[in-house]
Structure 1
Amino acid sequence: MKGLVLDQENASGITIKDVALPHLKPEEVKVKIKAAALNHRDEWCRQGKYPNIKNGIILGSDGAGVVEEVGEKVDKSWLGKEVIINAANFWGEDQAVQSSAFQILGMPSNGTLAEYVQVDASRLCQKPDHLSFEAAAALPLAGLTAFRAVFYHGSVKPDMKILVTGFGGGVAQFAAQYGIAAGAEVYVTSGSDEKLKTALELGVSGGFNYNDEEWVQQAVDKTDGFALIIDSAMGETFSDLIKALRPGGKLVFYGATLGNPPMLDARRVFWNQLTIQGTTMGSDRDFEGMVKYVAEQGISPVVDKVFEFSNAVEAFERMAAGKQTGKIVVKM
């Protein structure tokens, strides 16, 4: 089969090549991939910036397709079903935190940017009927991360004022959509007025361009501060986010793309009784709840652009340029 593998000897960092599938294990299924979506971790692997990367591994964590073969211990009713794949492996029994064995599909194990993928049957979930394969492929990793941030840690409720930073990325897009569906008053930030316009079209209550030095004051004036902020950047933005929280508010962050905060306004945190909460992806229970919620609410991922598999390098270049609004999808 054809697979998109990490190839650090190639100028592009990736190569489409023939890859042999191993023998199907008794607990595994073989899925014909119809579409796969990119995540930033795929691009970081391509750039050699992700830990423990291995040349020759098929990239890709998100995928949707059809079950073509099942192992001898797998229920044969899975055959022919349209599925999405849970990329979170070995979360463990503790809902509060992942186990030390936790891994994400696509590195160090072969991922979804291929004609086929073989995974444990426990990683399958039936594709919501209202989603195309391209839309369904956009859901797993980002959708799960956002679901845990919004509901498990954020405890979002109707009329709650929340801020989602960096709208345009996959997790931020889902977090905004989940909040809107839950009846919250959702605001977003972005450095692009065009992306803010897209957010408004999705139904957010307002948006702020973080390149405007007055955006925090504008946000506080409009909302009296946020009960919840969901962020992935941290770095120097951290102090602004702390100022934008109302007393008793919570900041949930799932990344630190701008690095560690240069300082912590500890007095503001303890005096306003703020909570700073880290999060990452989610458990199997979170994944099942996420897919059910998406199906019940009829939520459709924002798909930025769909590329043919033969043009996968172009898809990676678009992600590297940061031009996307929503998920970048590769169609098989």
Structure 2
Amino acid sequence: MQAVKVTEHGDTDVLEYGEYPDPEVGRDEVLVDIKAAALNHLDIWTRRGMPGLDLEMPHIPGSDGAGIVEEVGEGVTRFEAGDRVALSAGVGDLRKDDPTLDPHYHIIGEHVPGIHAEYAAIPADNLIPVPEDVDWEVAGSSCLVFQTAWRMLIERADLEAGESVLVLGASGGVGHAALQIADYAGAEVYATGSTEEKLDYAREHGADHVCNYEEEDFADWVRSETDGRGVDVVVEHVGAPTWQNSLASLTKGGRLVTCGGTAGGNPETDIPRIFWNQLEIIGSTMATPDQVDDVMELVWDGTFEPAIREDLPMSESQRAHEIIENREGFGKVVVRPDSEL
């Protein structure tokens, strides 16, 4: 089969698209004919290399994708050939109330081979059914960011109607999902972006107030917009460059919920502000199966909609990575096997 391969950690030139051994289907696995997949910042980090990440090379990236069941292992009863399915990439012990807290929790595409390929052998427990009327680009691009944003806001931050939320980078993957979820939950939504086009997108998808962070300090803007109060919740996934301003944007007793640090993972922090204002710093990773089902039903019925900024063949994966790294446009970058185009 043809697959995207990371040959070593580095810049985009370490990505290749070419022949790779066909996957073998294990007892509890499903062979999926991939119709559409998508990139996340996770693919950028995996390609560059992260502390503690020890991958066998070449490595197939990809934590989002969807397709048609080709074959099932002998232990699989949930799916059969011809079913439409999408990947939910978090792998944990399903006997636990919260598999994301399993010490051995890992993510398909990050810690083990992913699905940016013509075919992928995937544990049946990591697949969810896709209705017939859902487009492949939606099915293949929405699960990781919508489950992440849903858990952040609904489960971890315990967002309530009438509260206020600041969404950083509202045009990115997690950002554009959080924007829609916060609006759905009945929050007053504040959003940041770097261009007028991105701010227009934010307004159209739930933002009540927008700020161009290239032109003004967003913490000062939040304070001005809220008469000095600040917001109840900040959705933080940028990291070092925004961390101090994110803390400064919170009201007393506010909650900062973070799922990553795309621009730097070790920020300076303001400890006096945290304890004096009694702020909560909340980590969040992926979602439980029940949470995935809850949010994906709202994607499938059109309540939430992933924005697609580009749709490319997998042979142009270098360009797909550049779009994410350069923050071009808004939403997800979809990649499809060249044989599907």
TM-score (norm 2): 0.90
Is 1:45–1:53's contact at 8 Å kept on the other side of the alignment?
no
Q: Percent same amino acid among aligned pairs?
A: 32
Aligned residues: 331
Is 2:257–2:283's contact at 8 Å kept on the other side of the alignment?
yes
Task: Determine the structure 1 residue equivalent to 2:103.
Answer: 100
Task: Determine the structure 1 residue equivalent to 2:194.
Answer: 191
1:12 aligned counterpart, secondary structure = helix
Whole-angstrom distance in 1 between the partners of 2:104 and 2:24: 23
Task: Kindly report which structure 2 residues correspond to 1:232-311, keeping only aligned pairs within 5 A, or say none.
Answer: 232-256=237-261, 257-266=263-272, 268-296=273-301, 298-311=303-316
Whole-angstrom distance in 2 between the partners of 1:151 and 1:9: 35
Whole-angstrom distance in 1 between the partners of 2:315 and 2:298: 34
Aligned-pair CA distance for 1:81:
1.4
Is 1:57–1:108's contact at 8 Å kept on the other side of the alignment?
no
1:75 aligns with 2:81: no
Is 1:58–1:106's contact at 8 Å kept on the other side of the alignment?
yes
Aligned-pair CA distance for 1:177:
0.8
Task: Determine the structure 2 residue equivalent to 1:136.
Answer: 139
Residue type of the partner of 1:7?
Answer: T
Structure 1 residue ranges without an equivalent (≥5): none
2:243 aligned counterpart, secondary structure = helix
Aligned-pair CA distance for 1:174:
0.4
Task: Determine the structure 2 residue equivalent to 1:226.
Answer: 231
Larger deviation, residues 141-150 vs 292-301:
292-301
Larger deviation, residues 124-133 vs 167-176:
124-133
Whole-angstrom distance in 2 between the partners of 1:103 and 1:156: 27
CA RMSD of aligned residues (A): 2.2
Task: Determine the structure 2 residue equivalent to 1:158.
Answer: 161
Aligned-pair CA distance for 1:53:
2.8
Is 1:6–1:46's contact at 8 Å kept on the other side of the alignment?
yes
Aligned-pair CA distance for 1:168:
2.1
Aligned-pair CA distance for 1:246:
1.3
Aligned-pair CA distance for 1:211:
2.6
Whole-angstrom distance in 1 between the partners of 2:28 and 2:243: 44
Task: Determine the structure 2 residue equivalent to 1:57.
Answer: 59
Task: Determine the structure 2 residue equivalent to 1:316.
Answer: 321
Residue type of the partner of 1:324?
Answer: G
Deviations 1:87-117 (A, max 9, x none): 1112551428522211111133221100111
Residue type of the partner of 1:57?
Answer: H
Is 2:92–2:100's contact at 8 Å kept on the other side of the alignment?
no
Task: Determine the structure 2 residue equivalent to 1:43.
Answer: 44
TM-score (norm 1): 0.92
Residue type of the partner of 1:85?
Answer: L
Aligned-pair CA distance for 1:175:
0.6
Q: 1:32 to 1:185 in 2, by over 3 A?
A: same
Structure 2 residue ranges without an equivalent (≥5): none
Deviations 1:253-290 (A, max 9, x none): 11123232223142x32232211111111222322222
Over 6 Å off, 4+ runs:
none
